[in-house]
Structures are given as C-alpha cells and as structure tokens.
Structure 1
C-alpha cells in the first residue's frame, strides 16, 4: 500500500500552469537549458511540467510510463468519441450506441477513480470497442481448446535448465511481428497460431515473415465443433497447428486477411511444422521456462472483462467471475509481477495492443463453469479447473520443427 500511496502522489501532484509552453518545450527552474523539465501543453491556455520519468500526452497531460491511455474523461461526450475513433452509425442504431457508450463511460470513470486512489492495479480506457454490446464483443473471443487424444502433439520435455531470467520479452529479440486487428471476425485462434508460428520460424531461421491467418480461417476443418464451426465462428490453435503440419501456412502477401470466411484456396506454403508441444496445465513454472527457453506461446484466456482495458497489471478476472476460456492470444514474455500478452484487437487497445496479466494468481485455480461456451470440444465437460489470472496457465502450446515451405502449391 505504501508503494501505491507514493504512486498516487506522483500522478495527482502535477500542477497545471496558465499559458503556453515556451519554444524550447522546457519548463521549471531550468526552462532555459537542457536541464529543464518537459513541457506538456494540455489545452490552449494551460500546460504541465512533467518529471523526468513521465511522458507528455498532448491535450491530456503528463503520464508515467505505461499510463499513456489514462484519462479522466471529464466532459467527454459521445460526439467526442465518434470523432476520436471515426465512428458513424445508421440512424436506427445511433441511440443504442449512445446508451452503450454512456454506460461504459460511467464504468471507466468510476474504475479509474479507484485506480488513482491506489485501489486498482490497472485502469480502463474508452477505446474503439467501447460502443460494442456484450454480444458483439463476444464475437472477438471465439476460441476453444481441443484435448482430443487422436491428434498428435508432444508434451514439454523435462529438461534441466539454468535459472530463468527475472524478466524476459521476446519483442526485444526481433521475432515478433506488429500487432494486428482481427476485426469483427472470431478469428483470434487463427491470429494466435499465426503469430506463434511466425516467432518460432524466426527463432529457427533468423527470418521474420508475416504469415497469413486467413490460411487458417479458410482452410482449417473443425469436425468436432471446437469453438464453433470454424473460420469466423471460432476454432482452436491446435487445429491451426495441425494444418501447419499437414499443409503449411501461406504468406500474408499471398493470402491477405479478409475478416470473413472464404472457401479454401490453393496456396503455396511459406512455413511448415513437424509437430507442436503442449505445456503441462496450470503450471506457472512450465510457462515461464518455456517462454525463457523456447519462444512465445499460444495461450487461451478468459477475456470477457478485457473490453475496456487501458493499461496496468490486469487482475479483473480474479476480482470478478470471468472464468470462461474463450480467447486465443500470444504470450511473449514475463516479469516478476505479470505475464506479457499480445492481443489481436489492434495497437489502439490496451498497452499498444498488449496486456499485462497479474501473476498474483499463479498459484490459484478457478472453475470454468461454461466450457461449452468457450473452451472445450464435443463432448463438452460440465466444468474444468483453470489456473492463473484469466486462466492463462491452463492451455499453452507452440509449434516445433519449423521449416520453409516448398514451391509446390497446395491444391484443395
């Protein structure tokens, strides 16, 4: 609590000054030299002097690292929101969108007030998803995890490793492509698998390719209704890895993302795999070791409470009752306090497209009472026990034996 109290003073202790920033963009006692504090213009008539550890968000104010999206939204209107995110609506839906916006705005303001008081470790933002109904938001979380014994996979080998680094981030290794946006198609599973194939091929070959999730959306067969009927109706990363083994995945340039189901085309595989590895369930040590020694992982999470995430270390699943595994993402790193997760809702969501999941729940388990709605394949279990914040420890996997595809076209 002492840490959060001092943090609170830092956040709210910045005083606004009348006027405009000087040409030097410096302020404070040393405004005339390089030692001056960064000057941040927050309106046409006022500015703030940021500390050396803060960044200036124009028209918003000084923010600590990781708080670029933190705003109080005082006076923020529906018209402001539409302009900021270039939104337009048909006449018949305008009022319903306004109602959703207003309800979410109240939620964000109340939550962020608690964050500023040190009662929360994460804050919310009015982002591009803030006008979606719960049903529409649910479309972006269409994935399940198949645990069928007749599909080949490997268990993580029991190896002796040196101690893991205290923190690790694969983004710094040049093996992670930019954050993408799946749009209104329930293809999170395809993006998660694609991203992990990209990363592991880059680790193996030194070449970072941008691969095509549309390969999986169009061509993955889903006979057991794992996550729906396939394509934009949902499937699994396991099924995507199986297609990578049997036929491979195309380049994005050859098969661009459409955000809708199409018939499976003939394509040239850019990358193929020999198999994939599944980590032991609900074991934080296994996920940490795999991230430190193998590469990014495809993981399944409960993301029903992620819609308005703006930044910070997220603990919203364990604080509430969001335990239905329904979303595929990519784990790219960790630190002592969090798992670093890459999402597929665009770079404007969360922390530039990423979310940090709290590790305070690493040793806790929760019950998913709705496997049929989000996680399992037929025949659906009634319940399942999941571990970690948002169930991040329950199902993790990655492809192995990645090689360049052949010039031979896959004809379907």
Structure 2
C-alpha cells in the first residue's frame, strides 16, 4: 500500500504545472507523507547546513525518506546508551551500500602488495638507531601522557576525500609527512593527494578505486612527494600525471615496517615513532559517528579491508584515529575505536604499516 501511495505521489508531482521549486515541492509533499513539522524543519535546516540540493522531485523525496530513516536509527542508537554517539551529518541522506561503493576501496590485497623492497639494505641495528633519533625521542616524550600516547598535534588537519576511494593516498601521505617532520626533515604541511592518485599507479594502486599505502611509500621514496599547492587542487578524480617528480621524502625512507594482524602491543610499539597507516573494516556506524568510542559488534556489509586510516595514538581503552572525511565529521575529523573488551566487539584493525625515516 505504501509503495502505491508513493507511486501516486510521484505521478502527481510529475503532472504538476506549479512553478514551485524542488525544495518547496519537497516540503509540501512531506506534509502529504505526514512528516511532522519538527522533522520537516530538521531536514530543511540540514539541507541548508550542508548545501544540499536535488535535481528533481523524485530525488528529493527519495533522499528525504533515507534521511528520516537514518534519523530514526540515530535516535534509537543514542537512546540505548552506547559508547559512541551518533549524529546527523553530510552522509545522512544516503545509505551504507551507496556510500561504501563511492568511498571505500574494493581491492583484494595480498602479501606481495605490502612489500617495500629496501633499496639501501639497512641492517636491523641501523633501523634501531634511526628509530632512537634524539629529536624523535624528545617529541615522543611530549606526546606521551601516562599510559597514553597522542600524536594529534604532529599530524595535519583532516581533509575530505569525497566520493573517491583515495583513502590510501590520504593516509600514506599524512603518515609520511608526520614522520618526516618528527625527524626534523620537513615542516608539517599538507601533501598533495592528487599527485599520488594521478602518478602513483600500478597493479594495486588504482587512484579512486583504491591502493596500497606501502606502494605510496615506495613512490614517495623513489620520486618524492609534492605539497598540496604544488599540484592540481583535489577534486576526487584521477587524471593524467602532470608532474611525477617531487622533492619531499625522496630517498629518505630507509624501510617500511608492517604487521599483518596486529595486537595492541604491536600497535603500541609501532606508534612510538609516530602515526601509522592501517587498513580497517569500516561498517555503517562510521557514517553516523558523532563522538565517543566505536564499539561495534556487528559488521553488516563490512567484508573487505575497505578503508585506510591513520592511527595517531592510544589510551586506556581505545585507539585514536584520523579519518579522511574532513574536520566536520566525527571529532574534528578524528574518531576513537575500542581496543579492549570482547574480541567480537573490537574494531577490525589490519595490516598496519609505517615508514622508517633516515
């Protein structure tokens, strides 16, 4: 019956000869759908806040329905008192399936995709000495707070990746510049993500379709990275490589450490030198995340290592992670995930990696 009513509603809109705008039509049709005035106002204000507009009435009504469904789920989640709060955000008019297709990577990674190939043949003793650099030791003490460690002040602000599976380029470039800055090699500045998307291409580096962070580290070491303003502005697309060679990080990565299935002690050890990249299973809770500790126990639809992020620290019961969805998402672009508790409720952190800077 509901589908019939909706079909008639859409037919009525198509036959309308009114000059009302899409938004005006939308508000009127929400009245017909018995959406109360309070919810209408919330949706209208949300559209204004995020600059949303729709091409036609069909799309507007469809997005309104998804928004209301998401709003109901958010209210239900917050009512049960979970460790994290859900909230409306720029994703609230979309469902998980379409968002995951747009924003996550869809690649099957093998161990070969996570081999760096050390061109300098550094020994374990050499690597240990590089990790105990005096400047890094001093910065580490500043980042440590009791049993916690937080490199938030040593990473750049979060940038939004948009509808492009380029999280691998964001996470690897962010970790690379942080670790270069921690060793006093470079200033902490935004590196160009489009430079990696356009120029760092290969078997498992496919621009907006995903890529290997270790492949990005290898590219930076061999070709150098560029600052954000030295390459074309980020627009969530892959184009022809215009400037393959940069200067930042070139020849400065001695090796890349990786752990395929890390436990807390291994992640803790990795973080002593600075932030690390990680591949994670991202579920629908991420798209409604508004703060607190994600303690998701079900991973509906999260069947792949779909998202690359930057782990910046840890506390008593959580990891702190930088995402690539912009400062308006989560906790100023960051989020927390549970690191203690029942195994089935721990967030799925896999394949951490990080460059060792010379």
Superposed CA deviations along residues 364-407 of structure 1, whole A, max 9, x for unmatched, are 3x6xxxxxxxxxxxxxxxxxxxxx83321x211111235xxxxx
Match of 2:88 in 1: 126
Kept in 1, the 8 Å contact 2:84–2:295? The answer is yes
1:171 corresponds to which of 152, 156, 161: 152
* 2:51 paired with 1:86: yes
Q: Structure 2, unaligned stretches of length 5 or more? A: 1-37
Match of 2:348 in 1: 391
Kept in 1, the 8 Å contact 2:258–2:354? The answer is yes
Kept in 1, the 8 Å contact 2:113–2:215? The answer is no
1:80 Cα offset (Å):
2.1
1:95 Cα offset (Å):
1.4
Match of 1:334 in 2: 314
How is 1:8-407 mapped onto 2 (pairs within 5 angstroms)? 75=39, 77-91=42-56, 92-115=58-81, 120-138=82-100, 139-142=102-105, 144=107, 145-148=109-112, 151-153=115-117, 165-172=146-153, 175-205=154-184, 207-223=187-203, 226=204, 230-255=206-231, 256-266=233-243, 267-272=245-250, 273-279=253-259, 281-291=261-271, 293-305=272-284, 306-316=286-296, 318-321=297-300, 322=302, 324-361=304-341, 364=343, 389-392=346-349, 394-401=350-357
Q: What root-mean-square deviation, in Å, do the aligned CA atoms of Structure 1 and Structure 2 show?
A: 3.0
Superposed CA deviations along residues 74-106 of structure 1, whole A, max 9, x for unmatched, are 745321210221211111411111111011011
Q: Structure 1, unaligned stretches of length 5 or more? A: 1-73, 367-387, 403-412
Kept in 1, the 8 Å contact 2:116–2:215? The answer is no
Kept in 1, the 8 Å contact 2:262–2:352? The answer is no
Match of 2:13 in 1: none
The structure showing larger relative contact order (alpha-carbon pairs under 8 Å, at least 6 residues apart) is 2
Match of 2:5 in 1: none
Which structure shows the higher strand fraction? Answer: 1
Which structure shows the higher helix fraction? Answer: 2
Cα distance in 1, alignment partners of residues 181 and 262 from structure 2 = 28
Kept in 2, the 8 Å contact 1:323–1:391? The answer is no
What is the total number of aligned residue pairs between the two structures? 294
Superposed CA deviations along residues 309-331 of structure 1, whole A, max 9, x for unmatched, are 11111112x24454532000000
Distance 1:156 1:93, change over 3 A: farther
Cα distance in 2, alignment partners of residues 303 and 142 from structure 1 = 11
Kept in 1, the 8 Å contact 2:294–2:347? The answer is no
Cα distance in 1, alignment partners of residues 299 and 97 from structure 2 = 19
Distance 1:157 1:278, change over 3 A: farther
Q: Secondary structure of the equivalent of 1:307?
A: helix
